[in-house]
């Protein structure tokens, strides 16, 4: 499934900020996607895959430990701030002493903390530099700040294609380099990195592509631009939360259509048989008469018969 690139998280931060100063109401789990409802808007997220302001309400609601605990712990809480930390695939929602984090990389995670201590996590585990465990202090993952000084140290032995691919995502790397006529095999240079970052911010916009995909730079054929990126994201992923009931109905419909087709084929076969009988009425009558007289011997195995004259 298509995963949001870092470039798209950088852009979408300004859209997420419209939820600041609103109050948390409910959390829902729709089988594929989580939805956080505030008094003035909603946010949907699928771990690793995407996070955006949402306008589409999925048809099916299921219970999940995460949605249950968020309803209990955050109901009525004011969202003080929401940030894409270090412009990376990591979102922090600040509710005061309680905070909710979305780690949109690796296997993905969602973590609720209180005064810096983990209360609940979607995925628990122990890593090289931190431990995700209930009751443990929550430590932020190692993120890559989007500034040339840090980037040049990280990628000094890499090519521009490798560096920008890690920073923004490959489609964005290819577009930015081609736009400025820079080879992807060019060695990383601080001034070039600065120029690419500036170029990204200057040209970033919400794009809908002709194939239904979305982006923040026109790296595909553009259908329209200018609406909220969240709107395009919502529509792109809406197939992900088809109702199970709807899926069953669609399956039943396909089976019914198959049976109708089989019936129509058999009807056509029977029609041809009927036409043949009508055209050969005299011969058929004679066969029936001889069958009644016991003058016809059938062989079911060979699918043949003998007539005694």
The pLDDT of residue 300 is 60
Give the structural domain span for 71: 6-132
The pLDDT of residue 239 is 65
Is the Cβ–Cβ distance between 24 and 189 less than 8 Å?
no
Give the pLDDT mean for 212-236. Answer: 94
Count CA atoms closer than 13 A to 61's CA, side-chain side: 8
**pTM: predicted TM-score of the whole model, two decimal places:** 0.76
35 and 104 within one domain: yes
Is there a domain that residue 221 lies in?
Answer: no
Is the Cβ–Cβ distance between 66 and 121 less than 8 Å?
no
- pLDDT of residue 295 exceeding 70, the answer is no
248 and 193 within one domain: no
Distance between CA 174 and CA 218 in Å, rounded? 11
Chain segment 273-294, per-residue pLDDT in tens: 777 777 777 777 777 777 777 6
Is the Cβ–Cβ distance between 58 and 42 less than 8 Å?
no
Mean pLDDT of the chain: 87
83 and 38 within one domain: yes
Chain segment 3-55, per-residue pLDDT in tens: 999 999 999 999 999 999 999 999 999 888 999 999 999 999 999 999 999 98
Say what angle helices 229-237 and 6-16 make with each other, to 10 degrees: 120
Is there a domain that residue 278 lies in?
Answer: yes
- pLDDT of residue 59 exceeding 80, the answer is no
74 and 14 within one domain: yes
158 and 109 within one domain: no
All residues at 6 or more sequence positions from 75 whose CB lies less than 8 Å from its CB, including other chains: 24, 25, 26
119 and 49 within one domain: yes
Distance between CA 148 and CA 193 in Å, rounded? 6
Write the CATH number for 112: 2.30.310.10
Last-in-domain residue among 132, 158, 174: 132
Q: Which of 142-146, 214-218, 280-284 has the lowest mean pLDDT?
A: 280-284
153 and 123 within one domain: no
Chain segment 81-104, per-residue pLDDT in tens: 999 999 999 999 999 999 999 999
Is the Cβ–Cβ distance between 22 and 95 less than 8 Å?
no
31 and 91 within one domain: yes
- Burial pattern 52-89, b for ≥16 Cβ within 10 A else e, equals bbbeeebebeeebebbeebbebbeebebeebebbebbb
- pLDDT of residue 229 exceeding 70, the answer is yes
170 and 108 within one domain: no
């Amino acid at each position: 499934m298509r995963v949001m690139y870092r470039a798209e998280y950088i852009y979408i931060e300004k859209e997420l900020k419209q939820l600041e100063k609103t109050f948390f109401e409910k959390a829902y789990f729709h089988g594929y996607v989580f939805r956080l409802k505030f008094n003035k808007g909603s946010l949907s997220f699928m771990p690793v895959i995407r996070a955006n302001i949402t306008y589409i309400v999925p048809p099916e609601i299921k219970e999940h430990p995460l949605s249950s605990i968020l309803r209990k712990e955050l109901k009525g809480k004011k969202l003080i701030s929401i940030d894409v930390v270090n412009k990376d695939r990591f979102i922090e929602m600040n509710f005061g002493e309680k905070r909710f984090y979305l780690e949109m990389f690796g296997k993905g995670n969602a973590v609720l903390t209180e005064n810096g201590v983990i209360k609940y996590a979607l995925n628990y585990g122990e890593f090289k530099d931190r431990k995700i465990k209930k009751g443990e202090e929550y430590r932020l993952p190692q993120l890559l700040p989007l500034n040339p000084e840090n980037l040049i140290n990280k990628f000094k032995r890499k090519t521009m294609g490798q560096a920008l691919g890690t920073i923004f995502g490959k489609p964005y790397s290819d577009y930015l380099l081609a736009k400025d006529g820079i080879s992807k095999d060019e060695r990383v240079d601080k001034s070039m990195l600065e120029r690419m970052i500036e170029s990204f911010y200057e040209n970033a916009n919400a794009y809908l592509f002709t194939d239904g995909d979305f982006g923040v730079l026109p790296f595909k054929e553009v259908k329209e631009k200018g609406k909220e990126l969240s709107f395009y994201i919502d529509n792109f992923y809406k197939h992900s939360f088809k109702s199970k009931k709807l899926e069953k109905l669609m399956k039943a419909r396909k089976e019914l259509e198959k049976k109708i087709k089989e019936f129509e084929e058999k009807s056509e076969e029977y029609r041809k048989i009927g036409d043949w009988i009508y055209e050969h009425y005299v011969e058929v009558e004679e066969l029936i008469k001889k069958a009644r007289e016991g003058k016809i011997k059938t062989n079911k195995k060979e699918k043949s018969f003998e007539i005694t004259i």
